[in-house]
A = this chain, B = another copy of it.
Amino acid sequence: MTTHPNESDERTERTDEHDDAESGEPTAADEEGAAAAADDEPEIVDGRTIEHLLTDHERDIAATAKGTDATAAKRPTLDLPRLELGRRDFMKAGAVAGAMGSLAGCTSILADEDGEDDGGAAASGDHTVPPGEHDEYYGFLSGGHTGEIRVVGLPSMRELMRIPVFQAESARGFGHDARTSELLEEAGGYTWGDTHHPRVSQTDNDYDGRWLFVNDKANGRMARVDLKYFETDAITNVPNCQGVHGACMQLPDTQLVFGVGEFRVPMPNDGRDVDDPDEYGSVLTAIDPETMDIEWQVQVDGNMDNGDGGKEGRWFFATGYNSEEGVTEAEMTRSDRDYVKAFDIPAIWDAVENGDYEEISGVPVVDGRKESSLNQGDRPIVRYVATPKSPHGISVTPDGKYAIASGKLDPSCTVIGVEEIAEVDDPQDAILGQPRIGMGPLHTAYDDRGHAYTTCFIDSVVVKWDYEEAVEAEAGSEEPVIERHDVHYNPGHLIAAESYTASPQGDYLISLNKLSKDRFLPVGPIHPENDQLFYIGDDDAGMQLIKDKPSYPEPHDASVVHKDKIEPAKTWDPDDYELDFVEEGDESFERVDENTVEIEMWARRNEFAFPEVELREGDEVTIRISNVETTSDVIHSLAIPEYDINLALAPQDTREVTFTADEPGVFWAYCAYFCSALHLEMRSRILVQPDE
């Protein structure tokens, strides 16, 4: 039942059966040319379009987009330049075509390309990373109710960095300088958040390494991390919605970021309808990834949960629970069915443009509830697919053919056809398979060989299964199941390397287990979680448990990105921020008026521009400070004790802080980053003369 990536397998044969492509398979020479040119500037060498691969409906959408400039700007979904095949665009077309299951051999093309990258740690059979060697992948883990993102390396599972997102954090000075503290303040002033689903931006259904997006389940927000600097650079406060649970995107090019609203609340939640749950609502929120502005929301029935975008750009899928619209656990779990919601993104754009929305809290809210008139015609904006009890995770297969939802309170997964969802009259007919997986199936990840891997919370296993076989098999059959591997214990999410792209790597998988029990040295009543790394690259040998990694509560989900797709800056580029850089020699101290002081200064190894700063009690003081170092890793900080300030300054970075000098005395500001042998002597004496 297991298949080898280099062998023709049953899945490929089945793909062939479904094949409706007319022609145009690339030759091996074409593939090599495309791969070699992949890093070059996009260049149109061939006017072929892939329009023949689209359904009639998709062709209509593309035509509409072409015809309306304003719409096209807001609708990068199937924008036409991408429909013309250049050398680079060939890659896009391959992904899109693969997503539709309509270009024979496409999946194996991608697999071959992956083969080169997989070579390193995986091929050697040794999953260690000796001192001084680099990991193969970045793992971006959410930090759950720490409010942060964590960066780990795979396969070492070493934590490389933390990125504070929704909380102030002193080592990186996040929330200590003016820019980041304003960011947190404007996003509601909360001191924490609950990050769940980190997703890295994609171009052509592959990671582009530009941004990472993550939700705040607690306070209904969405944040963006700039992967050039590994720093949070935007937070959007989402109205009409308490908890943004899923954080996902429209593919293939991250045209929109989606916040999947969970808790049903009054809209707006300002004291109205407090006692009337019938009036509560839950919304999907579409956010522009560039501006982080909210474009629109769609109100739906029931609570929503997780989501994932179809590879082809039209559909977005979200699971949900509480179709009963109850307010207690008993009420919420009464029904045997809940819904997967399939959002037709172009149709929603049309509704917004047609004015078919209500503006609530300044946002256009489109009515996507089952009974909405927008769902009654032949082009409903939301299709409701009834699936067994409280489907939890949902993810689209790399080939784009299926959205697979996990049952949570039902032992099955539900395989929904992406192409079919657009074509069937009754959404239930889009259900193509429903294998029995195990107790408490929560989330599903993919390799590059047609396998799905599903966590079962109650069984404490990861189940490997064949999703094409599930389409062939009877509903409720266990036949597609290839292997069950124990995890320790009670897994929530899992993630395979590049599982969310059209071309997963197929080598590593992390199971994010909520309980660790006895797996680590005891550290008191608050246990770490246990993120277990598996090697999944050898179908004959089966899943291999490589590492237990204790994790501070509570990593919730992750994305795993190949190292070649992230290109962080080593030092700051002053052009990337608004503040003026302070060069050595340009330092200044200015008393602007009676009680206002403006200081511009720099830091370099062993000294601050001013060894001494004299203030008067009550002064309003603004300090702008640049790290003039150009050598990477020579970081300084400006710690101002008693005034509760610590500005971290990477090379070429400039930060600003304003404080009131309300405590008289002598305060030795110092550098908290150990920077040289004279680090201890690096300081500035702040004299605050008493007001008498």
A:636-692 near B, CB below 8 Å:
637, 639, 641-642, 644, 646, 648, 650-653, 664-668, 670, 672-675, 677-678, 680-683, 685, 687-690
Which residue in B274, B409, B571, B680 is a CB contact (below 8 Å) of A525?
B571
Chain A stretch 545-602: residues in CB contact (< 8 A) with chain B: 545-550, 552-554, 556, 563, 566, 568-572
Chain B residues contacting A569 (CB-CB under 8 Å) are: 524-525
Are A525 and B653 in contact (CB-based, < 8 A)? yes
Please tell me how many copies of the chain the complex holds.
2
Checking B322, B327, B532 against A685 with a beta-carbon cut-off of 8 angstroms, the contacting residue is B327
Chain B residues lying within 8 Å of A70, measured Cβ to Cβ, are none
* 9 A-B pairs whose Cβ atoms sit less than 8 Å apart in the complex: A132-B519, A135-B521, A218-B639, A242-B666, A280-B666, A457-B677, A525-B569, A525-B651, A554-B673
A159 is contacted by which of B194, B392, B552 (Cβ under 8 Å)? Answer: B552
- Whether the pair B145, A637 counts as a contact (CB closer than 8 A) is yes
The chain A residues found within 8 Å of chain B, CB to CB, are 131-132, 134-135, 138, 143-147, 151, 153, 157-162, 167-172, 190-192, 194, 218-220, 227-231, 242-243, 263, 265-266, 269-275, 280, 305, 321-322, 327-329, 332-333, 390, 392, 408-409, 440, 457-458, 488, 490, 492, 514-517, 519-528, 532, 545-550, 552-554, 556, 563, 566, 568-572, 606-607, 611-612, 617, 632-635, 637, 639, 641-642, 644, 646, 648, 650-653, 664-668, 670, 672-675, 677-678, 680-683, 685, 687-690
Q: Is the CB of A664 within 8 A of B552?
A: no
Q: What CA separation (Å) do A607 and B275 show in the bound complex?
A: 21
| A231 contact set on B, CB distance < 8 A | 524
Contacts of A269 in B (CB 8 A): 665-667
A553 to chain B: which residues have CB within 8 Å? 171-172, 635, 648, 673
- CB-contact partner of A633 in B135, B230, B515, B644, under 8 A: B515
Contact present for B523 and A230 (CB under 8 Å): yes
Complex alpha-carbon distance, A674 and B531, angstroms: 14
Instruction: Collect the chain B residues with CB atoms within 8 Å of residue A160's CB.
Output: 520-521, 523, 528, 550
- Residues in B with CB closer than 8 Å to A143 are 171
CB of A561 to closest CB in B, whole Å: 10
Residues of chain B lying within 8 A (CB to CB) of residue A519: 131-132
Contact residues in B for A650 (Cβ distance below 8 Å): 524-526
When chains A and B are docked, how far (Å) is the Cα of A158 from the Cα of B552?
11
Contact B170–A521 (Cβ < 8 Å)? no
Q: A521: shortest Cβ distance to chain B, in Å?
A: 5
Known: A231-B524, A553-B673. A132 touches B492 (CB 8 A): no
B514 near A664 with CB under 8 A, answer no
How far, in Å, is A538 (CB) from chain B's closest CB?
A: 18
Complex partner residue of A532 from B131, B409, B524, B549, CB under 8 angstroms = B131
| Bound CA–CA A272/B516 (angstroms) | 55
Contacts A519-B132, A526-B172 given; does A218 touch B274 at CB 8 Å: no
Whether A554 lies near B171 (C-beta < 8 A) is: yes
B159:A550 contact, CB within 8 angstroms: yes
Residues of B within 8 A of A458 (CB): 677
B residues within 8 A CB of A170? 145-147, 167, 191-192
Complex contacts, A532 vs chain B, CB 8 Å: 131
Q: Taking the nearest CB of chain B, how far is it from the CB of A60, in angstroms?
A: 38
Q: Bound state CA distance, A682 and B135, in angstroms?
A: 38
Q: In the complex, A328→B617 CA distance in Å?
A: 23
Is the beta-carbon distance between A263 and B668 smaller than 8 angstroms? Answer: yes
Could you say which residues of chain B place their CB within 8 Å of the CB of A131? 488, 519, 532, 545-548
Residue of B147, B522, B548, B677 touching A132 (CB-CB under 8 A):
B548
Name the distance in Å between A310's Cβ and chain B's nearest Cβ: 24
